[in-house]
Amino acid sequence: MKIHFVGVAGVGMSSVARACLALGAEVSGSDRYWDSRQNTGVLDKLAASGVKLYPQDGSGVTSETSRVVVSTAIELDNPDVLAARARGKALTHRAAMLAEAVGGRPCIAITGTSGKTTVTGMVGCILEGLGADPMVVNGGAVVNWTTATEIGNVRVGNGPWVIEADESDKSLMRFHPDWAIVTNISGDHFSAEEARQLFDDFSGQVKKNVIGPLETLSGGNEFRPQLSRVGSIFLMGNVTVQVPVPGRHNAENAFQALMLCEAMGFDRARAAEALLSFKGIGRRLQTMGTAGGVTVIDDYAHNPAKIEAAWATVSPHYKRVLAVWRPHGFGPLSAMMEALTELFPRLCASENRLYLLPVYYAGGTAQASVSADDLAARLRLAGVRVEVCAAFSALEQALVRDARAGDAVLVMGARDPDLPGFCRTLLERLA
């Protein structure tokens, strides 16, 4: 089978492409970053693994192509989409392709508003440590599996599938897994009520067992982790669990991951021991380095719940938080405007500061109805020290000017592949 992926460098698309390749398919792909020569490293790794790359001009869709895979983000006038239609090739959604790939093997699906990428990585690493040899397809790079030639968002194995199921476009409904975790439920892409109904509907499709949000689990109200700069410790019955990544939210993630493994029949103590191998997810509270006494931390946080969790994890350990946030789309910024207007004044109390980048726009038909300046205007009225930086160069100058020894620079935002590179450049300047 020959499968062509449109937008293959995307974090969700690249993982499914790599999984299909591992299952024996002939895989090709196109991406705007390939056309603009903006290689983030993902394309090199895909090519090294065997994915054939094409310009996004329709040339990758040939008469021999069996499937053309798209995500919700791909526009109808994309040249590859037009070429597929001209050749009579059916379009397959990324989630449908993954659901088909899972086939008859046991499947664990991880979903929820926040934390699903980390929990997917945790479950995968635990099952790996327990000898279950899982096949993991994740929405982010697991540090354990990231190499010079592997992105890290896929672990190839012959055991059960562990997949991240996306709620943002309701594509989680394409899966009927044996086990599942719903990490938490809050408003993000939908209202809280709509999200709750969506996850309830999904849970009804799970064949065996669903581990729900912490507050729905027995003992959830008594969950008391001891937090440190590098991780946490909590009791789970008579087993002491050590979590090797920081933050209360990661302690909660680990609790759910262990509950799931226990529901599958694995020993709790052995699963907790296997969790110790987990090294985290790329761009999830990833410490990029320290220079001049200033620590630079990179995080994927893009909605109020994730921003608050990242900030709460970092702030106790530093004199100040100098936070950078890049909105990941015009629609999401508009939908979150009220919540962000309420959130940032609380987080920016004391001497903390906020720096906003323009809305990340990767092309397409989105309307620029709001801007970072609109959010900044609201925040200034609430007394927030906020600065809008029109480009990375201006942001770099502002942070070099303002950062002092003992500060943390917390860089947050989704989708923009240049954020990690900015962190590295900033460290060089701070040194």
- Mean pLDDT in runs of 10 for the chain (431 residues)? 96 96 97 82 94 96 97 92 96 96 95 94 98 97 96 98 92 96 81 88 97 78 87 96 96 97 98 98 95 97 92 96 96 93 94 96 75 98 97 98 98 92 97 94
- Tokens 């096949």, residue? 135
Q: Residue 363 has what pLDDT?
A: 64
pLDDT of residue 195: 85
- The neighbour count for residue 134, using CB atoms within 10 Å, is 23
pLDDT at 219: 53
Confidence (pLDDT) at 163? 98
Write down the pLDDT at residue 365.
61
Helix (H) or strand (E) holding 26: strand 26-30
The predicted pLDDT at position 189 comes to: 67
Kind of pairing between the strands at 239-243 and 26-30 = unpaired
Of 149, 117, 116, the closest CA to residue 45 belongs to 149
Q: What pLDDT, on a 0 to 100 scale, did the predictor assign at position 222?
A: 72
pLDDT of residue 366: 66
- For each of the domains in the chain, give its residue range(s) and CATH number, in order of start: 2-94 (3.40.50.720), 103-275 (3.40.1190.10), 286-430 (3.90.190.20)
Residue 304, helix vs strand vs coil: helix
Report which DSSP code applies to 217: S
Residue 38 pLDDT: 74
Query: Which pLDDT score, from 0 to 100, does residue 202 have?
Result: 97
